[in-house]
Structures are given as structure tokens and as C-alpha cells.
Structure 1
């Protein structure tokens, strides 16, 4: 049912901790924890690195598990950089699907304040775009994962306040936080997310001003993971993507039906274009840059 008052400490939550370095294949995991070895980050040289560590559903009283796993990660030499984020899932069990429209309304009203509190790095906004009024209208007409999913770039399918996670694992996901391996920063972020969802579930009126929002939620206005500036070469890669994706998007749809361009990289004698299909798999193609039109050279394994 909605609205319903719920103690925020009774809500289940999960955290996804992105990191570089370490030895993720060999990390000793606590029961229920998962290392997503296919979720790689980017190190300072541009190579894939690290992984994403996921908690099981936890209660606030079980948060010390996070400290244990952070200590193990850091003992391996793992760290965070500009390519890493911190995502918090909050279980919606007390309200069920009835909270979806109120959650989208809250996103439209407060998402910019929440993003400002969590100090989202500008280059990470691709991974946490805003909820739109059109999404809210689609969900009101027919609640489905597609109704709250963005199209155009696979990295931008999930909004900063990601209601689509309800249809997958029964949660709302808040994706604004920058990467961190600092236990206290992570706890502050988790508490902010828990209290925000509890307030939305109770139907409380909040504020679109960051400091007022923090005060109404009873959380600190500071102390969340700091943004980390990316290197120049990554900014240049982003500019390349932004310039070329509109030109290559029609070709991507022909090569992979329903496909969307994930990223573009320089390649020997041309470009490497990675296209994600509806099945979530990446397919890479080598393209030449001749004087007239694009030539598809081959599929890259």
C-alpha cells in the first residue's frame, strides 16, 4: 500500500561498489556477496580493470559487512578512480508497485537536489540521467520496465533514480554517488538513500533545495563521495563519442537489430564501434574511414 510510514532502518538495501585494481577473481567473499567480473572499470591507462562488488540484501544493522569487504579489497590494492560509481538499491517491499508513480513524481521534484547532495561528477551524468515527465506518463498508462527505460545509449538506460530496478529485483536504485571505498562515505550515502525512499513511501513533502532536503531527511549535507576529474584523454574520448554516435546510429541498428552504440574507440586504420543488442551483449565492429562513406571491415571477436 501507499502511502505507508516505515522505519528506514527496516528497509533492505544493497550496494554496488565499483573499483579498479586488486585481484577480484581471488577475493574472499562473505556469504551472499557477489563479484561481477564482467563489470569492469577503466584504469588511468585506458585498460579495463577491477570489477563491481555487490552486497546481498542487507539491513542497516548488518552494515558492518561492508567494512569487512572494503578492508579485504584494499588489502589487495583495489582503489577507486574517476571511472567508478557507487549505486544503492533500496527494497520496496512495504509498498509494492503502488510506490512507482509517487517515486517518479518525487524524482521529477527532487532529483536535482539529490544529485547535488551526492555531488555527481559531470562526466558520470551519462550513467544517471534524469527522470522525465514522459516516463512518468508512460508508467501511468502501463507500468513496465520499458516505460521507465531510456533509449539511445546503453549507459543511459537507467536514470539517477532508477525505477526500472523494481521490475528486475524489486528495488529502487539511486545511481548518483561517485565511487568510494571509504566506509563512512558509503554509510552516509546508504542512509541518505534509505531515508529518501522511506520519505517517498510515507508521502512526505520534501524540498528541491539540497540543504533543505538533507535537513528534512535528517542526514548530513556533506561528507558524500567526492567527484574525481577524469584525465584529458577520457574527455577527448567522450567528445569523439558524442560527435560520431549520431552519425553511426543508423548503421548500428542495421548491424544489430535494436542495437545501440555503447562506445567508439580508435582502432588500427579506423574505428572500433561497440554495439549492445537487446540481449545485453556487446558486439564490436572495425570500420574504415574512406573518403566516401563508411566501410565495415570485419567483426571484432
Structure 2
């Protein structure tokens, strides 16, 4: 049922803490917390590192669990860098599917302001693109996750205010915050997002000015994860991706039907192309750009 007023502290939420370093395989977990060992970030050398830590759905009153797990991560030497983000999933049980379209409308109005409040790093916008009016129009005609998912590369499927998560796990995911292992910054971010979703659920009209929006929500005005500048080589790697993907898309679809290019990297004997299929499985191929067309060299097992 929507609209409906709900105390923001009564909303269940989950978080995704991305980090580098540490010893993810040996991390002692609280009950029902999980570590996603296949969700690796990139360390300062360009190597895959770290993981993603997630709790079960919890309430605001359970937030001390987060502090405990952050302490355990830091004791292992884990940290965050420019490749890490911090995402929050908020349960939509009080409203059900009725709130999905209002959340889409709210995203169109307030996504830029939320992004500015939490100071999203420019290089991280690849992972949280804006929801568009065209996506809303498609959703009205064909309501479902496809209407609100971007296409092109898997990292960019999910908007900063990701309503497609409703159809997967019954949540809205908000993806704008930079990576952090600071407990207060994490709580500030969670509180902002919970208050925002509760306001949308109550059909409140809010300011589109970032400072005013935070005040109207009674959320922290500052104290969010700070941007971490990426190294030059990482920006160059991203530019290579963006330049090569259009040229490789046809070949990628031949190798993995309906697949999408996850990333592109130079290797000694050509260009490594990682392609993700509909099920999330990643396949890697090395190709070579001759004078005419692309030449497949080998598949990496």
C-alpha cells in the first residue's frame, strides 16, 4: 500500500561494504553475515583484492553489528581505496510493489541531490548511472526489472537509485556513497537513505537542493565518505574500456550470445576481453586487432 507513513528506524536494510586487502577467507563472521569472495576490488598494483561484506537484513537498533565487523576487518589490515563503494539495500515490505513507480519518480527528482550530498566520486558514476525519463516511460508500459536496468556493461546495469532490486530481493538499492570503513560515515549514509525512502513512502514533497533536502529529511548534512581520487593508470584503463567496447561488442556477442563486456585489458599477446553472460558467469578471451577485423587468439579457462 502506498502512500503510507513508516518510521525510518522500522525499515529493514542491508549494506555492501567493499574493501581491499585483509584476509577475507579467514574473517570471523557474525551470525548470518556473508562475505562474497568473488566480488573483488582493485588494489594499488591493479590486482584483484579484498571482497564485499554483507549482513542479513537488520534494523537501525542492530547497527552495532556493523561496528563489530568493521573492527574485525581493520584488525586484518583491510582498507578502502578508490575502487570501493558502499551500497545500502532498503526493504520495501511496508509498501510492496506500489512504491516502485513512486521511487522511480523520486529518483528523477532527487537523484542528483542525493549524489551531491554524499559527494560521489566522478569515476564511480560508472557504477551508479542516473535513472532516465525514458526508463520510467518503459516501466509504465512494461513494469519489470528490464525497464529500469541499463544495458552496455554489467557494472553499469544498476542506477544510483536502483529500483530493479525490488524484483530481485524486495529492496531499493542506493549506490552513490564512496567506499569507507568509518563507522560514523556508514551510519550517516544509512540514515540518509532510510529517511529518504521513508519520505518517498509517505509521498512527501522535498527540495531538490542538496543542503535543503538533507535538512528536510533531518539527516546529517555532512559526514559522508569522502571521494578518493583514482591513480592515473586506473583512469587510463577506464578510458581504454570505453574506447574499445563499441569496437568489440559484435565479437563479444558472437562469443557469448547476449553477453556484455565486463572489462577490457591489454595483455602481452593482445587484448583481454571479459564477457558476462545473463547468469553472471564471466568468460575471458584474448583477441588481436589485425588490419581487418578482430582475430581470436585464445580463451582463458
Q: Using structure 1 for the length normalisation, give the TM-score.
A: 0.99
Q: Determine the structure 1 residue equivalent to 2:142.
A: 142
Q: Determine the structure 2 residue equivalent to 1:292.
A: 292
Please give the per-residue CA displacement for 1:46-93, whole angstroms capped at 9, x wherever unaligned: 000000000110100000000000000000000000000000010000
Please give the per-residue CA displacement for 1:5-63, whole angstroms capped at 9, x wherever unaligned: 00000000111000000000010000010000010000000000000000110100000
1:241 aligns with 2:261: no
1:9 aligns with 2:5: no
Aligned 1:221-300 pairs, distance under 5 A = 221-300=221-300
Query: C-alpha separation between the residues in 1 aligned to 2:153 and 2:216?
Result: 35
Q: Alpha-carbon deviation of 1:284?
A: 0.7
Query: C-alpha separation between the residues in 2 aligned to 1:7 and 1:122?
Result: 33
Q: Determine the structure 2 residue equivalent to 1:219.
A: 219
Query: C-alpha separation between the residues in 2 aligned to 1:102 and 1:200?
Result: 7
Query: C-alpha separation between the residues in 2 aligned to 1:68 and 1:217?
Result: 28
Query: C-alpha separation between the residues in 2 aligned to 1:286 and 1:190?
Result: 41
Q: Determine the structure 2 residue equivalent to 1:202.
A: 202
| 2:120 match: secondary structure | coil
Q: Alpha-carbon deviation of 1:144?
A: 1.0
Please give the per-residue CA displacement for 1:186-213, whole angstroms capped at 9, x wherever unaligned: 0000000000000000000011110011
1:105 aligns with 2:102: no
Query: C-alpha separation between the residues in 1 aligned to 2:78 and 2:216?
Result: 36
Q: Determine the structure 2 residue equivalent to 1:156.
A: 156
Query: C-alpha separation between the residues in 2 aligned to 1:108 and 1:207?
Result: 13
| 1:100 match: secondary structure | helix
Query: C-alpha separation between the residues in 2 aligned to 1:208 and 1:185?
Result: 22
Query: C-alpha separation between the residues in 1 aligned to 2:292 and 2:91?
Result: 53
Q: Determine the structure 2 residue equivalent to 1:69.
A: 69
Query: C-alpha separation between the residues in 1 aligned to 2:158 and 2:178?
Result: 16
Query: C-alpha separation between the residues in 2 aligned to 1:140 and 1:4?
Result: 21
Q: Determine the structure 2 residue equivalent to 1:40.
A: 40
How many pairs does the alignment contain?
Answer: 301
Query: C-alpha separation between the residues in 2 aligned to 1:12 and 1:32?
Result: 15
RMSD between aligned residues: 0.7
Name stretches of at least 5 consecutive residues in structure 2 with no aligned partner.
Answer: none
Aligned 1:169-188 pairs, distance under 5 A = 169-188=169-188
| 1:155 match: secondary structure | helix
Query: C-alpha separation between the residues in 1 aligned to 2:62 and 2:172?
Result: 20
Query: C-alpha separation between the residues in 2 aligned to 1:252 and 1:221?
Result: 45
